[in-house]
Amino acid sequence: MRRIIVSTAGVILIAGAVLSVFWANHINSHRDGPSPWAPFHMLTAAIRMYELDQGKLPDSLSDLVEPDGSKTWVGPYVGGKFPRDAWGKQIQYRVLGVKDFELRSVGPDGVEGTSDDMVKGTQQENP
């Protein structure tokens, strides 16, 4: 009986140590606030949900919140206001092909085409 108690206590201590390491890493990774990529991931998920229901990409981001008269539209796919980038600017959406799209933020400088732009799409490798 004593051996079981000691073994159980050891397992609990090890599990607690492992969880505390993961918790510390989680806290440190969010110390500076949410990731600037968070609105991109949310919009990507909404676009993919729309695509599953409609069989095509939305023509514009407004298609995610405004019914188009289709029987398969089950939105809104975005609740509330559209998310903005980390600097409060509107995220741009562009259809690149039948299954390809791009979401773009002009970044902190507010100028498109500069090195601080954030781009997420089906043709880029992004976080």
Identify whether 80 is part of a domain.
Answer: yes
Task: Kindly state whether residues 42 and 29 are assigned to the same domain.
Answer: no
Q: Are residues 46 and 27 in the same domain?
A: no
Query: Rg of the chain's alpha carbons, rounded to an integer?
Result: 22
Same-domain check for residues 99 and 64: yes
Question: Got the DSSP string for 43-91?
Answer: HHHHHHHHHHHHSS--SSGGGGTS--S-TT----SS-SSPPB-TTSPBP
Residue 22: which domain range?
1-33
How many domains, in total, are found in the chain? 2
Task: Let me know whether 91 and 55 are in one domain.
Answer: yes
Same domain? For 11 and 62 the reply is no
Give the pLDDT confidence score for residue 48 in this predicted structure: 92
CB atoms within 10 A of CB 62: 12
Same domain, 29 and 46: no
| Residue 126 is assigned to a structural domain of this protein | no
Domain at 96, CATH number? 3.30.700.10
Classify each residue of 102-124 as buried b or exposed e, where b means 16 or more C-beta atoms within 10 Å of its C-beta.
Answer: ebbbbbeeeeeeeeeebebbeee
Residues 1-39 have pLDDT tens digits of: 666 665 565 456 555 544 454 544 554 455 566 788 888
The model's pTM = 0.66
pLDDT for the residue 95: 92
